[in-house]
Structure 1
Amino acid sequence: MEVNEYSVPIENFKKKVNGKPVAVVGIGVSNVPLIKFLVGMGSKVTAYDRRTKEQLGDTYSELSALGVSFILGDSYLDKIDDDIKVIFKTPGIRFDVPALSKAVQNGAELTSEMELFFELCPADIIAVTGSDGKTTTTSLIYEMLKRGGYNCYLGGNIGSPLIGEVEKIKHNDKVVVELSSFQLQTMKMSPKIAVVTNITPNHLDWHTDFDEYISAKKTIFLNQGSDGKVVLNYDNDITREFNNETANGIYFSRKNRLNNGYCLNDDMIISFYNDGHIEREILSVEDIYIPGMHNVENYMAAIAAVDGLVSDDIIRKTAKEFVGVPHRIEFVRELNGVKYYNDSIASSPARTTAGLNSFDKKVVLIAGGYDKKIPFEEFGSVVNNKVKSLVLCGFTADKIEDAVKSAQNYNENNIPIYKCSLFEDAVKKAKEIAEAGDVVILSPACASFDLFKNFEERGNTFKNIVNSF
């Protein structure tokens, strides 16, 4: 590779790791490209994973052919060599597990694929996090920039891992990434533009408490320079207070009129000057193809991020043409007058609530799944207001049923509840009870890990079942 001012960080990194032992903990989607990149930098890579050689299958064969060494099995974390001074961990493993804490105490640097990408990337990075809406907002920003003529890269928690692309990225390109709290918790750099869509309780099975989850999210902007931008949701109590910790904040709001920011005025997204006067009308809600007021908020967040980079005409063109991201209130089919929607991404009560609010009628809801220790009390009241019939499946079925029946607005005559042990049976039950004119939506309010590898597999399974009717 030709060395220029933009490749200097990569060349410096190569000098740092060339010929040196490096550990990669977790051989997952993001770390396989990382391992290949490190091998290309001349590192002596040892990959650590709980799975066996047989379980890794072709991945083992491919990486072994590159000269990668392996430490596998249940006790893999206890075998990190004291000579290894750089450890890349997968986002799903906490930074403070005893084996990693011990390695850090012994002088090892603990980092990750995304942290390395931030260190090496020559282009401006726009990053999005939040409890809900971050994938759609990230995708919108990417689509607007691409339509605006930029050479763009999309990655992070969606798309392909970007570390394998970093040597191709130029200074004038734009990189758009979605970041989870797992990825952010140990980040030491912040993007040029940061977006926080909202914060509600999530992943409390992994974080020690809600405060730790909030702190992880804040990392997205805490290390910005004075030329940064932080887009914050004014309507969310937590993200509104984030503005007290940055000089770069700008708000968006669907519910409030702001002196400075992006708001909804009747059915028009507008921007304000500092004195509270309308600067310009940007986008009519009627021009937004994807349904739901939560998507209006996603558009406001995206507009705030790209304002000054693309024209309003590009924003309007995107709104009319962007059909959404799979598994997010995705229309599947209409059968016998019943419309079926896949909202498998909804892995929290707040996300399902947003999905339910997208419809002007009560729906047949399929919900339940893996327990992330998120409370369902408020969700129970929402279900009573927005759901015609409730079909439950998964580990949380009883918890959701209890929340619905304990809500003050519960009436057993208004909302029948069905529980199914098999996911396929739940979808079939929804079909059985739905009538012409109804909406059936898979919007679980829970993660998928009790029955599926991820929410994509859950959503695709739902679509396959529905399309087989």
Structure 2
Amino acid sequence: MTVQEWKTWAKDREMAVIGIGVSNLPLIRFLIDCGVKVTAHDKRTPEQLGEIYDELTGVGVKLVLGEHYLDCVSDSAEIVFKTPGVRYDVPALLKAAECGAEITSEMELFFSLCPAKKIAVTGSDGKTTTTSLIYDMLCRAGYTCYLGGNIGHPLIGEIEKIQPGDVAVLELSSFQLHTMKQSPDIAVVTNVTPNHLDWHKNFQEYIDAKKAIFAYQNEDGKVILNFDNEITRGFRTEAHCAVCFSSREFLPNGYSLQNHHIVYAEGGQIKRDILDIRDIYIPGMHNVENYMAAIGAVDGLVGDDVIRETARDFKGVPHRIEFVRELDGVKYYNDSIASSPARTTAGLKSFGTKKVILIAGGYDKKIPFDDFGVVVNDHVKKLVLVGLTSEKIEAAVKAARNYVDLPIFRCTEFEDAVCTARKEAEPGDIVILSPACASFDLFKNFEVRGNTFKEIVNQFE
């Protein structure tokens, strides 16, 4: 269906939007432009919404706000657009579905209406960097690209500008994928490790959400999978066309690492020498793997010269092992995006055998720290903990088989943790914020956490 056809169909119909946040505000504006009768539900009060309240009421949006904002979702809406953070099986949405409403999302509507090629990335770790690399490579190659999903901004507001020859590059979280019944033309799964178990019912539900990124592809679709991850390796048998990458072993068909070079092989023969990984500006083997995933996605769309140019120039994404400053011989890095033990593990390993001073801890996503305790003892010189998971991380570190009196400092305030790390650091040390946990106990999101860290470090004298 074209955008114009959908607008004609949607005019004067009643639709509900759950959540007036970053992802749904552009959706509401689009629906209003289509002539839809919109009811928007949000747990915030008019005072908390502020200017947004004035804007929406000014264009005729009916607002249901406050503690009981979901009570009347099922009343008359033909379509209910839920925000990614609300589960599909909350009683209000189940009731709406029983009354005949279609439960969907901004992303699903975008997929239905977007005329361009869609490339989407998901994974427990590395998806933002991989998505950014794909976007960068395609832009350098001359494509008109749109970056959105869980990164950038919602693209439904730009849907009328997007042309068939363009490319939409999307980062998709498990929350967004959970109910999707559409898949992109090219999908990437960087890896799957336990994450968001405070929201998903169990690890299997999380895995199933990730699989939705390729589950609805047709025979022309393609999915790029991490062969080194047991779960994503297992996805191969469920996809129409799966292409794998590995940094650990040679793949007869796919992308491998051979003598510091990313190569592509078919039938056991190396067909192309794509990239010398020593030319990659951003550090760490996990970033080599991000490049392999991105290369798989853009293969056939951009030349290897563009890939090499990107490797030399791409400086990374904020909050991902981001160098902040060097002071008194100590280097400070912001890796606030690391909201899982697996992500922090990758960050620690990027420094090789160099042991660092690690600031960790935060909101508890119910992810076990047992294996992480071993990693910390191998790669950390001193450990500074802050947040709700401090006790769990300390217990895992001390219970690890390789624990030998690692200095551990527990702090109640974030600023105190950063200052403690500085106090304990000596010339030549590395201090890194890489929490292994979400930020929600102390901060709105990981960006605020990372920016706060940078502000504190940059104020040091």
Provide TM-score, normalisation by structure 1. 0.97
Structure 2 counterpart of 1:84, one-letter code:
A
Question: Which amino acid in the other structure matches residue 11 of structure 1?
Answer: Q
Which residue, 254, 264, 282 being the options, matches 2:257? 264
Matches within 5 A, 1:113-128: 113-128=106-121
Query: Which residue, 360, 367, 373 being the options, matches 1:380?
Result: 373
Instruction: Choose the corresponding residue for 2:453, options 459, 462, 469.
Output: 462
Aligned residue among 278, 281, 291 for 1:286: 278
Residue aligned with 2:84, SS: coil
Question: Distance between the aligned counterparts of 2:5 and 2:95, measured in 1?
Answer: 27
Deviations 1:267-325 (A, max 9, x none): 0000001x211101000011100000000000000001101100000000000000000
- Alignment match of 2:243 (pick from 250, 273, 297): 250
In 1: Cα distance, 2:286 partner to 2:454 partner: 23
How far is 1:16 from its partner? 2.6
1:440 corresponding residue in structure 2: 431
* Partner-residue secondary structure (3-state), 2:243: strand
**Corresponding residue of 1:421:** 412
Residue 349 of structure 2 is matched in structure 1 by 357
Paired residue for 2:393? 400
Q: Partners of 1:196 and 1:181 in 2: how far apart?
A: 11
Aligned counterpart in structure 1 of residue 122 of structure 2, from 120, 126, 129: 129
The answer on whether the counterparts of 2:74 and 2:92 sit within 8 Å (CA) in structure 1 is: no
8 Å CA contact 2:225, 2:236 repeated in 1: yes
What corresponds to 1:3 in structure 2?
A: none
In the aligned structure 2, how far is the partner of 1:62 from the partner of 1:325? 33
* Per-residue deviation, 1:60: 1.0
Matched, 1:342 2:329: no
Q: CA deviation at 1:81?
A: 4.3
Cα distance in 1 for partners of 2:15, 2:238 equals 36
Whole-angstrom distance in 1 between the partners of 2:220 and 2:391: 50
**Residues 213-228 of structure 1 correspond to what in structure 2 (within 5 A)?**
213-228=206-221
Q: Distance in 2 between matches of 1:280 and 1:249?
A: 19
4+ long deviations beyond 3 Å:
none
Give the secondary structure class of the aligned counterpart of 1:76.
coil
Deviation for aligned residue 1:59: 1.2
Letter in 2 for 1:16: W
1:125-151 Cα shifts (integer Å, max 9, x gaps): 000000000000000000000000000
The correspondence for 1:175, drawn from 168, 184, 187, is 168
Corresponding position of 2:4: 11
Secondary structure of the corresponding residue to residue 344 of structure 1: coil
| 1:327 corresponding residue in structure 2 | 319
Instruction: State the identity as a percent.
Output: 67
Letter in 1 for 2:432: I
Per-residue CA shift, 1:311-354, capped at 9, x if unaligned?
Answer: 00000000000000000000000000000000000000000000
Separation of aligned partners in 1, 2:205 and 2:451? 33
String of CA shifts for 1:230-278, please: whole Å, max 9, x gaps.
00000000000000101210000000111100000010000001x2111
Tell me the distance in 1 between the aligned counterparts of 2:28 and 2:206.
Answer: 28
- 2:227 aligns with 234
Deviation string 1:388-431 (CA, Å, 9 cap, x unpaired) is 0000000000000000000011111xx10000000000000000
Q: Kindly provide the amino acid, as one letter, of the partner of residue 7 in structure 2.
A: K
- Paired with 2:414 and 2:254, the residues of 1 have a C-alpha distance of 44
- 1:104 is aligned to 2:97: yes
How far apart in 2 are the matches of 1:468 and 1:341?
15
Deviations 1:27-58 (A, max 9, x none): 10010000000000000111100000001111
Letter in 2 for 1:277: Q
Give the number of equivalent residue pairs: 459
Q: Which amino acid aligns with 2:195?
A: N
Whole-Å Cα distance in 2 between the matches of residues 88 and 163 of structure 1? 13
TM-score by length of 2: 0.99
What does residue 430 of structure 1 align with? 421
Determine helix, strand or coil for the equivalent of 1:238.
helix
Pairwise CA distance, 1:11: 2.0
**Alignment partner of 2:71: what SS?**
helix
For the residue of structure 2 that corresponds to 1:78, the secondary structure is: coil
Offset, 1:78: 1.1
Distance in structure 2 (CA, Å) of the matches to 1:448 and 1:56: 23
- Partner in structure 1 of residue 51 of structure 2: 58
Give the distance between the partners of 1:81 and 1:402, measured in 2 at CA: 47
**Matched residue type, 2:318:** P
Give the whole-Å Cα distance in 1 for the aligned partners of 2:166 and 2:22. Answer: 24
- Give the root-mean-square deviation of aligned CA atoms: 0.7
